[in-house]
Amino acid sequence: MARLESHFAGKHVLVTGGSMGIGVATARRLVDLGASVTLVARRPEPLAAAKRELEGRRPGARVRTLSLDVSDDAAVAEAMACELAEQPLDVLINGAGIAKPAEFVDAEPADLRAHMDVIYFGTVWMTRAVVPHFLERGGGHLVNIGSTASLIGVYGYTGYTPPKFALYGLSEVLRAELAPRGIGVTIVLPSSTRTGMLEHELETAPPQTKAIIKSTRILSAEKVAETLLRAVANGRFEVIPGLDVRLSTRAYLLLPASDERCSTARRAGPQPAGAEAAAASSLTSGAIRSGASTFGEWPTPGMTSTRVPGTSSKAWADSPARKNVSCSPKTAKVRTPRRRTRASSRSARRNSSSPSFDALYDA
């Protein structure tokens, strides 16, 4: 606590996506710690409501708002030039985001593009506007809010996951280039978090994704905010909020890369993975013990074929995407190479009494 206060008191922090959810929870904590904040979002009303609330928390709190679409590079350059001339900046938190889960065959092209424009390019434009200012001042800190979907690609998030992966790559490059010049870089990778975004996902996501999100532990925005601020104060590059989420995500990533991860993802079948939900909480210790997870089943030798996620031949044949192509899968089965590694053999021995995830689904 003392460390957070001494780190943030008197600092100026700009939070994109600051009017709601994780952004406003972070701003709340910052105001309590004595920082001044600028909140960025598109809609003026939620911004004004957040400003009122934050100013009510602490006498003399300095809260500014900026109505801005972060995906508009020209608008960002212009608005940020004025903002930085008004008040020097110490920390930029890139949190603006959207999520419209849909299976790839159903996703609207405009939505696929919008995810990239807001999540990835929104971060790029804001960072471009701020880095010269940090270099001039001799320091600063960049924070990107990624997701466990920055590490693991999962079912139902074809629009959301790619820009979150891209954010991870961008953050690593920025760290390499800017750390030697006194600028810190942190990427925060939350799993499902209780916010308006998640509520919206629960209304609109494919049923399989909803089921998974509902079955997993969901973080509070306050928990994510606290973890984020501690990571900045401690100069950490990467942080995954929640010990169980952290362990389960790491466990998944320890699977030997290509074959096993691919086959577990395929085996997820129609069950799988809300990006955050699956990437994280579902691989909890219970799932690890039982050998099943929302990614599907852990590698099991002898299991060489499995259904394509969420796809029957008929569903594929009827899908809008299928109508635009001249050939289709002959079968809804995918053959995965029978490759017996030492790790998969060990895993098979451990899991020999576990029920098959496919079998559970079939029931």
Ligand X SMILES: NC(=O)c1ccc[n+]([C@@H]2O[C@H](COP(=O)([O-])OP(=O)(O)OC[C@H]3O[C@@H](n4cnc5c(N)ncnc54)[C@H](OP(=O)(O)O)[C@@H]3O)[C@@H](O)[C@H]2O)c1
- State yes or no: residue 118 binds ligand X (CB under 6 A): yes
Q: How far is the CB of 224 from ligand X (least distance, A)?
A: 8
Site residues (CB under 6 A) for ligand X, limited to 61-100: 69-71, 95-99
Which of 120, 155, 157, 160 is catalytic? The answer is 160
Q: CA–CA distance from 234 to each of 3, 7, 100, 292, 313 (Å)? A: 9, 9, 33, 35, 52
- State yes or no: residue 38 binds ligand X (CB under 6 A): no
Q: Considering the complex, state which of residue 95 and residue 309 has its C-beta at the smaller distance from ligand X.
A: 95
Identify which of 208, 218, 201 has the alpha carbon closest to the alpha carbon of residue 294: 208
The two three-digit tokens of residue 46, written as one number: 């939620």
Q: Considering the complex, state which of residue 70 and residue 287 has its C-beta at the smaller distance from ligand X.
A: 70
Is 160 catalytic? The answer is yes
The residue ranges of DSSP E strands in the chain, in sequence order, are 12-16, 36-41, 63-67, 91-94, 140-145, 183-188, 238-239, 292-293, 296-297, 305-307, 333-335
Q: Considering the complex, state which of residue 146 and residue 296 has its C-beta at the smaller distance from ligand X.
A: 146
Residue with tokens 């994280």: 280
Judged on CB neighbours under 10 Å (0-12, 13-18, 19+), 52 is exposed
- State yes or no: residue 246 binds ligand X (CB under 6 A): no
Please state the three-class secondary structure of 312-324 as a single string: CHHHHHHCHHHHC
Question: Binding mask 264-303 vs ligand X (x if CB under 6 A, - otherwise)?
Answer: ------------x---------------------------
Q: Which of 36, 193, 249, 293 binds ligand X (CB under 6 A)?
A: 193
Q: Which amino acid is at 180?
A: P
Q: Considering the complex, state which of residue 33 and residue 68 has its C-beta at the smaller distance from ligand X.
A: 68
Distance CA 3, CA 9 (A): 10
Backbone angles phi, psi at 160, to 5 degrees: -80, -40
Q: How far is the CB of 94 from ligand X (least distance, A)?
A: 8
Taking CB under 6 A as the binding criterion, the range among 20-28, 129-137, 179-187, 264-272 that sits at the site for ligand X is: 20-28
Q: How far is the CB of 266 from ligand X (least distance, A)?
A: 24
Give the CB-nearest residue to ligand X: 21
Distance CA 342, CA 291 (A): 16
Number of CB atoms found within 10 A of residue 304's CB:
14
Site residues (CB under 6 A) for ligand X, limited to 141-170: 145, 147
Question: Binding mask 198-237 vs ligand X (x if CB under 6 A, - otherwise)?
Answer: x---------------------------------------
Q: Considering the complex, state which of residue 25 and residue 348 has its C-beta at the smaller distance from ligand X.
A: 25
* Distant-in-sequence, close-in-space partners of 348: CB < 8 Å, separation ≥ 6: 299, 300, 301, 302
Q: Considering the complex, state which of residue 145 and residue 178 has its C-beta at the smaller distance from ligand X.
A: 145
Task: For the chain, state the CA radius of gyration.
Answer: 22
Size of the site for ligand X (CB under 6 A): 32
Sites of contact with ligand X (CB under 6 A)? 16-17, 19-23, 40-43, 46, 69-71, 95-99, 118, 122, 145, 147, 190, 192-193, 195-198, 276
The residues annotated as belonging to the active site are 160
